[in-house]
Amino acid sequence: MTTNLSQRRRRRQRVLQVILPWGSLILLVAVWWLGYDRTRFIPPPSAVLAAVPEFVADEDIVGNLLASLGRVAVGLGIAMVVGTFAALAMASHPRWEAFFGTYVTVGFGIPGLAAALFALMIFGLSDTGVYAAIAAVTFPFVTTALRSGAGAVDRQLVEMANVYNYGFWRRHRHITLPTIAPDFVSTVRNMHALAWKIAIIAEVFLARDGLGAEFKKAFDQFALEPVVLWLTVFLLTLFGIEYGVLRPLDRFVHRWRALT
């Protein structure tokens, strides 16, 4: 009886897990369908759907996507490297805590738009500017997220490593890095979406290709269907990376945990 009940409950939970995300998507489209003509310019779903073949045929979707993706990867990569370094330094000594603390506090406050404009002033129209804008905005979050984990290295494991002569590199590779790896991956996951947002803003000003540049081009020509379609491409990419790369990566760094 009880197993039957709990089985049924579990099955219902699984069904809900599948239905709910799709349900929220369908609701969104329904609101769009019912509400578009109350707005000034939002095109109806039917018009957007009709624009798909032309969009796919004429636009360099893959090329622009890869351009943006590359910028996100490099920008976030810089932020992860600098942030990890800063977090380890902050964990190692109060002096560094104070030093990087200033950057982190200031960094939290920088609006994405300001970072993009400053990058434009410093680097001109270039990818370097986009990297810098992404890195500047995400770096404080990375540092803060990794800071607590960096101080949590198990002293007893370090003692074991000393008895067995692990040495500097082996100790960091097999104790320090695995200790911060779960925090590192969850930080990448959390920062990934933010990095995309900054990348799009920065591309509006600093780039000739990429999703941000395409948004701007489409909007300048008042081509509203492509704006919606580029947004769709953007969201699909975000979902794809979350489910195709980041979640499996998260499972990978947690694979050694006890089964509970």
Partner 1 sequence: MTTRTGPLTNEVADTDTRAFIRIEDLSVSYGGGALALDRLRLTVAEGEFLCVCGPSGCGKSTLMQVLSGLLPPTTGTVEIAGRRLYASGRPEYVGVGYVFQDHRLLPWRRVRANLEITLAAAGVPREQWDERIGRTLQMLQIEQFANAWPLRLSGGQRQRAAIARALVVDPDVLLMDEPFSTLDEVTGRALRTELVEVWARTRKTVVFVTHSIREALFLADRVVLLTPGPGRLLETFPVTVPRPRDYEDVELARLEQQVVEVALRGWGMAR
168 binds partner 1 (CB under 8 A): no
170 binds partner 1 (CB under 8 A): yes
Q: Which among 54-62, 155-163, 200-208, 219-227 is the span making contact with partner 1, rule CB under 8 A?
A: 155-163
156 binds partner 1 (CB under 8 A): yes
Selected from 61, 120, 157, 246, the binder of partner 1 by CB under 8 A is: 157
162 binds partner 1 (CB under 8 A): yes
Q: Which among 64-72, 88-96, 161-169, 183-191 is the span making contact with partner 1, rule CB under 8 A?
A: 161-169
CB-count burial class (<10 Å; 0-12, 13-18, 19+) for 184: buried
Selected from 51, 166, 224, 231, the binder of partner 1 by CB under 8 A is: 166
Ordered alpha helix ranges (H), the chain: 2-35, 45-50, 52-58, 61-92, 94-109, 112-123, 127-150, 155-163, 167-171, 177-206, 211-220, 224-241, 247-253
Selected from 18, 165, 168, 222, the binder of partner 1 by CB under 8 A is: 165
- In angstroms, give the least distance from the CB of 134 to partner 1: 30
Q: Which residues contact 119 (CB under 8 A, 6 or more apart)?
A: 129, 130, 132, 133, 136, 202, 206
249 binds partner 1 (CB under 8 A): no
| Cβ count near 228 (within 10 Å) | 20
Binding site for partner 1 (CB under 8 A): 156-157, 159-160, 162-167, 170, 174-175, 178, 181, 255-259
